[in-house]
A and B are shown apart, each in its own frame.
Chain A
Amino acid sequence: MARTKAASIKPSFSDRVFDIVNYTFMTLVMIVTLYPFLNVLAISLNDSVDTVRGGITIWPRQFTLENYMQIFQYEGLITGAKISVLRTLAGTLLGLISGSMLGYVLSRIEFQGRKFMSTFLALTMYFSGGMIPVFILIRDLNMMNSFLVYIIPGMVSAFNVFVIRSFIDGLPYSLQESAKLDGANDFTIYYRIILPLCKPVLATIALFLAVGQWNSWFDTYLYNGSAPHLTTLQFELMKVLQSTQGQNTGMGAGQNMAEIVKQVSPESIKMAITIVVTVPILLVYPFLQRYFVKGMTLGAVKS
C-alpha cells in the first residue's frame, strides 16, 4: 500500500539528491562522533609498546588488559574513583532534594514567599560574583581541602528548580487539595504525592546533576589541589594529559602520578584512564534519553 502510494507521487530529482546528501551527512556525523571514542578504546586495549608504532584505528593490534591492570595500581586513581563516586552520589542526592523541595514550594500559589524566592533564584542565572570572590569566600568559610566544597556551593541550581516547578505545575492541583482535606501537612503532600509523580523529571535532573558532578575537575584543582585524599578521577586524568602535553599545570597540581605514568608508555595508559573516566556516564545516558529530551524542552520553555 505505502509503496504504491509513494510511487504514485514520484519524488522529484532534487528531492532524491537532497535525500542522498542528507543521509551521507548524517552518516558522516555518526562517524566523526564515534571514531575518536573507538580509537581511544582500541589504543587502551592495545599493547603499550606496540602502540608507539602508531596506526591503530578502531581495533587493537595486540590485545591486552595490561594497561587497565597498571592504572589501577596508582593510588591517585583509586582515591579519585572513590571520591568521584561519592561526590556524584552525594551531590546528586542533595541537588534532587533541594531542587524538588524548592520546586514544590514555589509551585504552591498560596505560599507568600513565592514571588520573592522565585526572583531571588532567577537572578542567579544572569550574574555571578566571579571566580576570585567565590574563592575567597570558600577559603574564609574553611571549605578549602574539604569534601564539602564539592557538594555544598552548587547545591541549588535555579534552572533545575524551575524545570521541576513547571513539571509540578502541570500536575492536577486537585491531588494536593484532597490530600489537604484528609489532613496531610505540606511535607506529607510533598513526600507522598508530589515526589512519586515527579519521577520522570527527577530522572532528568538526576542525570544532569550526576554528569555535572562526575565531570567536574576545576573545583578539585582550585580548592583541593593539595589534598591528595580528596582528588577526583577527572582531576587525575587532567594532570596526566596536561603533563605529557607539557602544559601549564598551575597551582595545586601535584606531579607524582603524572611522572610515573610518563615513564610507562603514556599513550595507552592515558587512553585507558580516559575510558575509565568516560564509560560510567556513557552506560547510563541512552537509557534516560526519553526523559532528558522532555526535561530540556520543559526547561527551555519556562526559562
Chain B
Amino acid sequence: MKAVTETSGSTEPTVNKKKKGFWTTFKEQKILYGMSLPFIIVVFIFSYLPVWGWIMAFQNYRPGRGIFEQKWVGFDHFVTLFTDDKFYLVLRNTLAMSFMGLIVGFTIPILFAVLLNEIRGSVFKRTVQTISYLPHFVSWVVVAGIVTKMLSVDGGAVNQLLMALGFIDQPIQFMAQGSWFWYIVTASDLWKEMGWNAIIYLAAIAGIDQEQFEAAKVDGASRIRQIWHITLPSIAPTIAILLIMSIGHLVSIGFEKQFLLGNPLVVDYSEVLDLYALNYGLSMGRFSFGTAIGMFNSIVSIILLLTANGLFKKFMKQSIM
C-alpha cells in the first residue's frame, strides 16, 4: 500500500499521497488482478460454495430443486445420526485409527530422522533416505495391493517369515479378522509415510549448531545423551508445530486406506466417518444425511485444531495461527 504511493507518486503528483481510491488502484493493478482473480473465483466455487451446501443437512434434499425450495427438517438428520448405533461404531473406528496414526505416525518419523542423522557414512545415509521416500510417491491403490499381498495367507511374506521364525504354526488371516484392521492401517500408513514425514525434522536437525555437539563430545557425552540433550530440544519447536497440525487433522483421516484395505469381513472395524457418509449418504441418495455426517466431521476437526492450538499457545508459546 505504501510502496505504490511512493513509486507512482512521481508520475502522478496530483493524486493524494496517503490514500488513493480503491478503483484507481484497481485500474493501476489490473494486470495483477487479472492474474489472480480467475483463480480466486475457482477457489470460491470449489472450496467455499460447498460450505453453503451445509444447509442441506437441515433439509430433506431432493435433486432437481433449488436450495430454497427444499423441505426444512431442522435437526432431524442429526437426531437420526446420533441415535444410530452404527454411528458410534464408526466414530470409535475413526478415533481409534486417528489416535493410533497420530501416536505411531508422529513419533516414529522423529525417531527415524534423529537416528538417520547419527549415521556417518554419507552414501549409506543418502541411500536410506532416498529409499525411505519411495512409498510416499506410490498411490494408496498400489500400497493396498502390496499390503494385501504381503499379508496374504498363501505365500504372504509376513506369514512366511513368522512361520520360518517359528512364532506361528498356521498363517494368520490378517485381512479377514477385524481385530487386525486398525493395526494394518496404522502400519501401512507408517510404511508409506515415515521417510517423507522425516524430511522436515532432518532439515531442522541440519540447522543445529555443530559446535554444541563438539562441546558435548569433549565433555564425554554419549551419543544417546547428545540426542537427548541437544538434538531433541533443538527440534522441539518444529515438533510442536507439526503436532498441532496433526491434531487438527485428527478426525479428517480420510477414507482411502479404509476403503481400499477394508472388506465385508472387517467392516465393523474399517468403516470410518467419511465412508459412512459415502455408503449411507451418497450411495443411497440420502444427500442430506450424508451432509450431516460430513458437517459433524468438519466441526469436530475445527474444534480439535483450535483446542490444540490454544493449549500449545498457553503452555509452549507456540502457535500456528
- A251 CB, nearest partner CB in chain B, Å: 6
Task: Give the dominant DSSP class at A's interface.
Answer: helix
Task: Find out whether the CB atom of A137 lies under 8 angstroms from the CB atom of B36.
Answer: no
A297 on the B face (CB < 8 A): yes
Those of A73-121 within 8 Å (CB) of chain B: 98, 101-102, 104-106, 108-113, 117, 120-121
B3 on the A face (CB < 8 A): yes
Those of B271-321 within 8 Å (CB) of chain A: 274, 277-279, 281-283, 287, 290-291, 294-295, 297-298, 302, 305
Task: Find out whether the CB atom of A18 lies under 8 angstroms from the CB atom of B118.
Answer: yes
Output the nearest chain B residue to A39 by Cβ-Cβ distance: B157
Those of B220-244 within 8 Å (CB) of chain A: 222-224, 238, 241-242
Tell whether A9 pairs with B217 under 8 Å between CB atoms, given A133-B51, A215-B139, A241-B144.
yes
Contact with B along A4-36 (1 / 0, CB 8 A): 000001001011001100110110011011111
Task: Find out whether the CB atom of A247 lies under 8 angstroms from the CB atom of B262.
Answer: yes
Chain B residues within an 8 Å CB radius of A277 = 139, 141-142
- B260 CB, nearest partner CB in chain A, Å: 7
Task: Find out whether the CB atom of B132 lies under 8 angstroms from the CB atom of A33.
Answer: yes
Chain A residues within an 8 Å CB radius of B260 = 238, 241-242
Tell whether A117 pairs with B40 under 8 Å between CB atoms, given A126-B302, A130-B50.
yes
Task: Find out whether the CB atom of A126 lies under 8 angstroms from the CB atom of B31.
Answer: no
Identify which of A18, A108, A110, A278 contacts B223 (C-beta below 8 A): A18
Task: Give the dominant DSSP class at B's interface.
Answer: helix
Chain B residues within an 8 Å CB radius of A9 = 217
**A128-B297 Cα distance, complex, nearest whole Å:** 10
B82-90, B94-102, B146-154 - the one binding chain A: B146-154
- B274 CB, nearest partner CB in chain A, Å: 6
Tell whether A135 pairs with B128 under 8 Å between CB atoms, given A185-B31, A186-B31, A293-B199.
no
A147 on the B face (CB < 8 A): no
**A297-B203 Cα distance, complex, nearest whole Å:** 7
**A152-B150 Cα distance, complex, nearest whole Å:** 37
Task: Find out whether the CB atom of B49 lies under 8 angstroms from the CB atom of A130.
Answer: no
Q: What are 29 A-B pairs with beta-carbon distances under 8 A?
A: A26-B115, A26-B119, A36-B150, A98-B39, A101-B35, A102-B40, A105-B32, A110-B2, A111-B32, A112-B26, A113-B33, A121-B43, A129-B47, A129-B53, A129-B298, A130-B295, A132-B294, A133-B49, A133-B52, A137-B50, A185-B31, A186-B31, A187-B31, A237-B145, A241-B145, A242-B260, A247-B263, A277-B139, A278-B139
> What residues of chain B have their CB less than 8 Å away from a CB belonging to chain A?
1-4, 7, 22, 25-26, 29, 31-36, 39-40, 42-54, 56, 61, 63, 112, 115-116, 118-119, 124, 127-128, 130-135, 137-142, 144-146, 148-150, 154-155, 157, 175, 191, 194-195, 199-200, 202-203, 217, 222-224, 238, 241-242, 248, 252, 256, 260, 262-264, 274, 277-279, 281-283, 287, 290-291, 294-295, 297-298, 302, 305
Known: A29-B131, A278-B138. 16 other contacts (CB 8 A): A18-B222, A19-B223, A26-B124, A33-B195, A37-B146, A98-B42, A105-B32, A110-B7, A111-B32, A128-B47, A131-B282, A133-B50, A133-B56, A137-B45, A187-B35, A241-B145
